[in-house]
Chains A and B, each alone.
Chain A
Amino acid sequence: MSDRHGERSASDRVPVDDLLRSAVEPMPADASERVRAKVVAAGVASNPIAARHRRVHAGVAAVLVACALTTAGVGFAAQNALPGDALYPVKRATERMRIVFVPADERADAYLMQADERIREIERLLNAGASARALNEAVEAFCEATRRAIETEPDEASAQRKIDEIRQHVDEAPPAVRDVIESALEEADMAPDPTPPVSPGIPPVKPDSDEPEGGGPPLSEELHLPDPPDPGPPPGEFGVESLPIPKPDSDE
């Protein structure tokens, strides 16, 4: 970089900010994986809301255990049932009973968990080459759980958040599952038949007169509601009481 007189030429010099932007380096993979496993486990274990959910679920589980004992384990055995199985109605009845024990402010999340279970069922049915009738039953049940998850939210903003979550869960499903759900909804919307073959679709949270009849968009668009207006941060505060506050220093 230096000539023989020790001087540096202009072409040897680059802006500091370019150097800084290129200085971000990945943590060594083995260390990163080790730390990842540890902090994720700690996060799940120490999260207060998750812990509250686990307590609720534990309570529900206790009731279910009692029910399972009185029904000679039928309820337990039904947990892996799929549409078309003899025990599937038992599984759905068990889910409905669990909802009764979930606090009202957590009920939307419980319905969302049901929708997730339906997605897993659809995936298993597809993998097993199940009948269209069984697949339809799972798709309809998914729509029902989704509708209830949205309607249970107390206001539009909460419903919007729930829609976002559902949209993400569907987006993260295997492509084949996603296609089944979205095409089922599309077909339902296009079909004038009041008894559509697959699914009645997901009723919107509120009437949307702008939506043309027939030919609905994919699920991710179908579920979309306008973003609520951003209220912006309250002036002069960060809204987090326990937020770590930067330590004072002597720079200024």
Chain B
Amino acid sequence: MAAIDERHIDRLVRRALNGDADAFGRIYDVYVDRVYTYACARVNDPHEAEDVTEVVFLKAFEAIGTYDRRGLPFGAWIFRIARNATIDHARRSARVPKPVEDLIEQVGPDPVTVEEQVVARVDDAIIKNAIRRLTDDQASVIACRFFWDMDIRETARALGRTEGAVKALQHRALRSLARILEEMGGDE
């Protein structure tokens, strides 16, 4: 997954605001796989994830005239739309993912360095199944940090949290995810 060049995205957004169809297409190309992966991790099947992805971009492109690049990075803005779309989808489907309890409350200085070890023989589908069992906040921080490659500051802005809260949330999410993956591995 290529890193996102914020200046390039800013240029594309400006061109999109001038009605440039090519710019809309390029913005879509940058974010579609991130949105789709997040959707796969929050809804129950790939076709639903495709529907959610479509809704996300329809809403984003419809509202792009309201986006203010001085306020929030565009990726964080897209993520907010994606998160709301998955929540709406889950409510409509009455299949709200069941959260697991947070196990660990203590937080280290940098949760990325917490090496939660899990069995290696897990594929992407198992990971997404595991993420589906996280709370919405936990899944969101996972998506921002690892699917979107946002740093802590940008993740905090995307989620409307403080940086400290994001660190704590990520720590709990990784611990929970590791436990879920262990359980799923044990079921094999």
A194 at the interface (CB under 8 A from B): no
B106 at the interface (CB under 8 A from A): no
Question: Bound state CA distance, A154 and B147, in angstroms?
Answer: 40
Question: Bound state CA distance, A42 and B33, in angstroms?
Answer: 20
User: A24: which of B16, B37, B71, B137 is its contact (CB, 8 Å)?
Assistant: B37
Total chain A interface residues with beta-carbon distance under 8 A = 61
Report whether B119 and A38 are in contact in the complex, using a CB–CB cutoff of 8 Å. no
Nearest A residue to B186, CB-CB: A6
Report whether A247 and B84 are in contact in the complex, using a CB–CB cutoff of 8 Å. yes
Nearest B residue to A41, CB-CB: B21
Report whether B119 and A13 are in contact in the complex, using a CB–CB cutoff of 8 Å. yes
Report whether A233 and B70 are in contact in the complex, using a CB–CB cutoff of 8 Å. yes
Of A43, A243, A246, chain B has the most CB atoms within 10 Å of the CB of A43
Binding stretch for chain B, among A14-22, A173-181, A201-209: A14-22
Q: Smallest CB–CB gap between A56 and chain B, Å?
A: 11
User: A14: which of B28, B117, B124 is its contact (CB, 8 Å)?
Assistant: B117
User: B68: which of A24, A43, A239, A245 is its contact (CB, 8 Å)?
Assistant: A239
Question: Bound state CA distance, A43 and B60, in angstroms?
Answer: 8
Q: Smallest CB–CB gap between B109 and chain A, Å?
A: 16
Nearest B residue to A10, CB-CB: B117
Question: Bound state CA distance, A51 and B17, in angstroms?
Answer: 10
B169 at the interface (CB under 8 A from A): yes
Label chain B's interface by main secondary structure.
Answer: helix
A252 at the interface (CB under 8 A from B): yes
Nearest B residue to A48, CB-CB: B65
Given contacts A39-B58, A47-B61, contact A16 B177 (CB under 8 A): yes
Question: Bound state CA distance, A98 and B181, in angstroms?
Answer: 64
Report whether A249 and B77 are in contact in the complex, using a CB–CB cutoff of 8 Å. no
Question: Bound state CA distance, A164 and B6, in angstroms?
Answer: 14
Contacting residues, chain B, for A161 (C-beta < 8 A): 14
User: B117: which of A13, A21, A23 is its contact (CB, 8 Å)?
Assistant: A13
User: When each residue 30-57 of chain A gets 1 if its CB lies under 8 Å from chain B and 0 otherwise, what string results?
Assistant: 0110011011111110111111011000
30 A-B contacts (beta carbon < 8 Å): A1-B185, A14-B117, A16-B115, A17-B112, A17-B116, A19-B118, A25-B37, A27-B33, A35-B50, A35-B53, A40-B25, A40-B61, A43-B21, A44-B24, A46-B62, A47-B65, A49-B17, A49-B18, A50-B19, A53-B18, A54-B19, A238-B72, A243-B66, A243-B80, A246-B80, A246-B83, A247-B84, A249-B135, A249-B136, A251-B136
Q: Which residue numbers of A lie inside 8 Å of B, CB to CB? A: 1, 8, 10, 12-17, 19-28, 31-32, 35-36, 38-44, 46-51, 53-54, 109, 161, 164-165, 168, 231, 233-234, 237-247, 249-252
